């Protein structure tokens, strides 16, 4: 019997690559997006496009009900949807601050809330949270994004304890920079921070070109899809997996060095 997968943010990048890869490996994949028109190219037999807005519990519940009413189960949840705000703390406004967490953190929690009860009753399930290597590393201008991914890491750790008795595994994947639509479509910039007269203009001019270049020349999203299948197939898989050059470079270093030494390495690498 094919396992049922629910994945958020499936219209591009890692979500799209994972949807196609799992479908090709005999999973039934419900590929969701707020804008279902972006899923019109997903016409494979095992991929079912589904409209879902992760900022709305009602929209999430409606989508999960569609899946459950047809299959009576949800085997795998992949929390992939998210975006990055590029702004200083000084410049960001209230809406930017709340929206970043509403999608990256509260959106993830809403989808978990809607699916955990199903998994608990079936006494099985896997939740895979797509985090970021920036969930372990601070960078300027990305404070809200970084901290949202730090939160995802905390959610992963706590949920593992909470769901252990119900045979539900919880994992996170911490990708480095990948060549997806992220830099082009999923980075939101604050106009004040990027104004040429900003007090932070020097920092912006040095850091943002490096970050965008690293994203646009990053690893292939297919690597994340391959890692997700490995997690699904191995019930002894570690809590976390790193994928991509930057993640593999910085995260082991983060464990080995003191906070101060690691900060110096990051500053030196990014010339900040």
**Contact between 54 and 107 (Cβ < 8 Å):** yes
Angle at CA 255, nearest 5°, toward 251 and 245?
Answer: 15
4-270: CATH class = alpha beta
Residues 72 and 181: their CA atoms lie apart, in Å, by 34
Name the band, by pLDDT with cuts 50, 70 and 90, for residue 247. confident
Check 30, 145, 150, 200 and give the catalytic one. 145
Residue 68 annotated as catalytic: no
User: Residue ranges of the domains in the chain?
Assistant: 4-270
pLDDT tens, residue by residue, 120-166: 999 999 999 999 999 999 999 999 999 999 999 999 999 999 999 99
Please give the Cα distance from 132 to 165 (Å, whole number). Answer: 27
- On the CB side of 203, CA atoms within 13 Å amount to 14
pTM: 0.94
Give the integer Cα–Cα distance in Å for 170 and 197.
Answer: 45
**pLDDT tens digits for 32-83?**
999 888 887 776 779 999 999 999 999 999 999 999 999 999 999 999 999 9
Nearest to 232 by CA among 16, 8, 29: 29
Q: How many C-alpha atoms does 90 have within 13 Å on its Cβ side?
A: 7
Burial of 36 (0-12, 13-18, 19+ CB in 10 A): middle
Question: For the segment 157-188, what is each residue's pLDDT rounded down to a tens digit?
Answer: 999 999 999 999 999 999 987 665 554 556 78
What tokens were used for 186? 């999923």
Q: Which two tokens stand for residue 31?
A: 């590929």
């Amino acid at each position: 019997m094919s396992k049922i997968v629910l994945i958020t943010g499936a219209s591009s990048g890692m979500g799209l690559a994972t949807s196609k890869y799992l479908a090709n490996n005999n999973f039934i994949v419900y590929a969701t997006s707020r804008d279902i028109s972006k899923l019109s190219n997903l016409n494979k037999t095992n991929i079912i496009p589904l409209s879902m807005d992760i900022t709305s519990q009602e929209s999430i519940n409606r989508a999960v009900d569609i899946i459950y009413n047809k299959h009576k189960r949800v085997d795998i949840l992949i929390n992939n949807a998210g975006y990055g705000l590029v702004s200083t703390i000084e410049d960001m406004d209230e809406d930017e601050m709340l929206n970043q967490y509403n999608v990256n953190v509260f959106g993830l929690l809403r989808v978990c809330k809607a699916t955990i009860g199903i998994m608990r009753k079936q006494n099985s399930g896997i939740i895979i949270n797509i985090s970021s290597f920036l969930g372990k590393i601070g960078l300027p201008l990305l404070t809200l994004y970084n901290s949202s991914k730090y939160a995802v890491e905390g959610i992963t750790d706590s949920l593992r304890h909470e769901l252990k008795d119900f045979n539900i595994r919880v994992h996170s994947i911490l990708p480095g920079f990948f060549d997806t639509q992220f830099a082009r479509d999923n980075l939101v910039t604050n106009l004040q921070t990027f104004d040429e007269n900003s007090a932070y203009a020097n920092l912006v001019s040095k850091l943002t070109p490096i970050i965008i270049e690293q994203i646009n020349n990053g690893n292939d999203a297919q690597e994340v899809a391959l890692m997700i299948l490995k997690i699904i197939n191995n019930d002894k898989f570690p809590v976390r997996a790193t994928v991509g050059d930057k993640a593999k470079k910085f995260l082991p270093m983060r464990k080995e060095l003191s906070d101060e030494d690691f900060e110096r390495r990051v500053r030196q690498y990014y010339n900040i």
